[in-house]
Structure 1
Amino acid sequence: MQITFLGTSSGVPTRIRNVSGVALRLPQKAEFWLFDCGEGTQHQILRSDLKVSQLTRIFITHMHGDHIFGLMGLLASCGLAGNPQRIDIYGPPDLEDYLKACRRYSQTHFSYPVKVHLVRPGVIYEDSEFAVSCAPLKHRVPAFGYRVTEKDRPGHFDVQRAEALGIPSGPIYGRLKRGEVIVLPDGRQVNGADLCGPTQIGRKLVYCTDTIYCDSAVELAQDADLLIHEATFAHQDAELAYQRLHSTSTMAAQVALTAQVQQLILTHFSPRYAPGNSLEVKDLLSEARAIFPDTELASDFWSYEIPRRQPAKLVKV
């Protein structure tokens, strides 16, 4: 699970930051998912090492322009350049009407299936490897945060040990890797768990923007390996944050601390914190780290690999 930030500015792009867009690359599935799609996102994808042909799912947090103005252009280009089999789009009310209007007035035809899913709190997508759920956030329009949960995987299967035990290869190895107990032709009983290493614990990613501090963000982020959270304003501009229902750096850190996440990455910075101004984005990092030390700042095209946790070791007493 690798994250690539395609846009980290709020409201408008700057010379060094595009507006919101985050890609989640899933190499084992040869695809990537996109979270939000601000203006110019397809240009950012072209400048990255992502392949537009591998885009399969798009998750939109809310209907403000800096999160959706790049969506129609990206979808139109996908049919010409990427030739995707299908793209599923998840988002709040009005998203489907918005896309229908864009297609109608621009007379755009998609050469591939596009399915829009209206999200509601709870699980919105699940397959054999991942589950995606969402929860409402607190913003000026309906907004949702997303949680991607990778399912636990069986540990590494020890083929050499199985061969040494005289277990014939074939479908039986698959059953053993799933932890099943089997009976061999000679009557021996073998527990697959004894031939597998520790379970690979699934990773958890949470994406929260735009929102002011709220309990639902904490609940969504509980025990996440990575929380990506907006930090539009510095702590000294908290009054602006309350007026516009955005988060400060310290609010994001409080969410991470309360939810006991492993890593926090801040994004969605106001252009007011540009280099040379009285406050810069690096100052927001200092504010957040004072509350939650495991905090980093996102920047455009930065990639972050979500580490896999090691299973807890049993201690004999």
Structure 2
Amino acid sequence: MEIMFLGTGAGSPARNRNVSSLALKLLDERNEVWLFDCGEGTQHQILRTSIRPRKVNKIFLTHLHGDHIFGLPGFLASRANQGGQEPLTIYGPRGIKEYVQTSLRVTQTHLAYKLIFVELKPGKVFEDKTFRVYCDHLDHRIEAFGFRIEEKDHEGELLNEKAQAAGVPFGPLLGQLKARKMVTLPDGRVLDGNDFVGPDQKGRTLAIFGDTRQTPREVALAEGADVLVHESTFGADESKLARQYYHSTSVQAAKLAKKAGVKKLLLNHISARYVGKMALDLQKQARHIFPNSYVVNDLQDIDIPFVKENSDD
């Protein structure tokens, strides 16, 4: 599981930061890529990565401001032109279906795959055998959402060395042990599969937010997350401006991370005013509150490893 930041800027493209988009790469887990927001130029950024558009089968949109959705029609068209045929689901606020269908109709763009639209409402928006996704309203000038992505626990691995030491022959009996069943060996001994399977590996949790000023609803979405992606449009001394424009400061994001007990805070949606050392200042401000804070950059790839049992990391 990795997060690839395709755009980390706020409002308008800047020389070193494109507008909002990130890819959650679930290639090992599902052989899929999920996009969160799709600002102008997203498909150009993807060309600079190893991401294949046909692998993208879900797009989650935090809100309908242009810097978060203007790249969507172009990406959808390119996905078709590059061989994408599998259905793609777009999760977004009210109005996203009209926006996409109007764009495609006016430009006479025909897709070789099915589009599925899911209008967001607070609560669970997706679940299968490996993941759950929840959303809730944030506090922005228009309807906006934050997402909580929960990976379900992985079943424990078969303890092969222990099974071999117990004389379990290669073949179907090993599979039965892995399924935690009672197994009778050829010599009559009965083994309990539970004794030959390691503990379940706890799944990872991410919280990915769009534009917002501070709201109590953020805490529940972020609680205990391995990674929180949060906007940092303003600096520590600009809290009044942040509230006026429905955004957050680096310090406000850090306070949320601390309160919610997350493990790592990734700050994005950086104003074009913050370049070079000034961007690092945002990181320093956050670290005074929450030490494991980072200002991310375009095309930065963040690995999200499993937390090892009995690890202090």
CA contact (8 A) 1:154 1:177 kept: no
Report the CA distance between 1:135 and its aligned residue: 1.2
CA change 1:172–1:125 in 2 (3 A) is farther
Kindly state the Cα deviation for residue 237 of structure 1 after the two structures are TM-superposed: 1.5
The equivalent residue for 1:54 is 55
Which runs of structure 2 are paired with 1:269-280 in the superposition (5 Å)? 269-275=270-276, 280=278
8 Å CA contact 2:139–2:215 kept in 1: the answer is: yes
Deviation string for 1:88-127 (max 9, x for gaps)?
Answer: 1111111111111111211111111111111211211112
Alignment match, 2:282: 284
What is the CA distance between 1:236 and its match in structure 2? 1.3
Q: How does 1:44-123 map to 2 (within 5 A)?
A: 44-123=45-124
1:139 aligns to what SS in structure 2?
coil
Structure 2: segments with no counterpart, 5+ residues: none
Match of 1:296 among 276, 294, 297: 294
Q: Is the 8 A contact 1:253 1:289 kept in 2?
A: yes
Alignment partner of 1:129 is 2:130: yes
- Aligned partners of 2:176 and 2:54: how far apart in 1? 34
C-alpha change, 1:169 and 1:8, in structure 2 (3 Å) is same
Structure 2 contact 147–207 (Cα < 8 Å) conserved: yes
In 2, the alpha carbon distance for the partners of 1:20 and 1:303 equals 15
TM-score (norm 1): 0.93
SS at match of 1:4: strand
Superposition deviation, residue 170 in structure 1:
4.3
- The alpha-carbon deviation at position 181 of structure 1 amounts to 3.4
Report which stretch shifted further, 169-178 or 64-73: 169-178
- Partner in structure 2 of residue 21 of structure 1: 21
Q: C-alpha root-mean-square deviation of aligned residues, in Å?
A: 1.7
Comparing 166-175 and 128-137, the one that deviates more? 166-175
Hey, what's the Cα distance between the residues in 2 that align with 1:170 and 1:64? 57
Whole-angstrom distance in 1 between the partners of 2:169 and 2:119: 49
Identical-residue share of aligned pairs (%): 44
Shift of 1:207: 0.3
Q: Which position in structure 1 is the counterpart of 2:174?
A: 173
What is the identity, as a one-letter code, of the residue corresponding to 1:310? K
Distance 2:192 2:76 in 1: 49
The residue identity in structure 2 corresponding to 1:256 is A
Q: How does 1:112-261 map to 2 (within 5 A)?
A: 112-178=113-179, 180-184=180-184, 188-261=189-262
Q: 1:171 to 1:251 in 2, by over 3 A?
A: farther
Q: Does the CA contact (< 8 Å) of 2:183 and 2:193 recur in 1?
A: no
Given residue 5 of structure 1, which amino acid in structure 2 is its aligned partner? F
The aligned amino acid for 2:294 is: E
**CA 216–171 in structure 1, closer or farther in 2 if over 3 Å, else same:** farther
Q: Aligned AA for 1:270?
A: S
Counterpart check, 1:306 vs 2:307: no
Q: State the distance in 2 between where 1:192 and 1:84 align.
A: 42
Specify the SS of the correspondent of 1:290: helix
Deviates more, 1:20-29 or 1:288-297: 20-29
> Aligned partners of 1:153 and 1:61: how far apart in 2?
28
Q: How many pairs were matched up?
A: 309
110 and 307 in structure 1: CA distance in 2 versus 1, 3 angstrom threshold:
same
Q: Distance in 2 between matches of 1:188 and 1:196?
A: 18
| Distance of 1:175 and 1:137 partners within structure 2 | 47
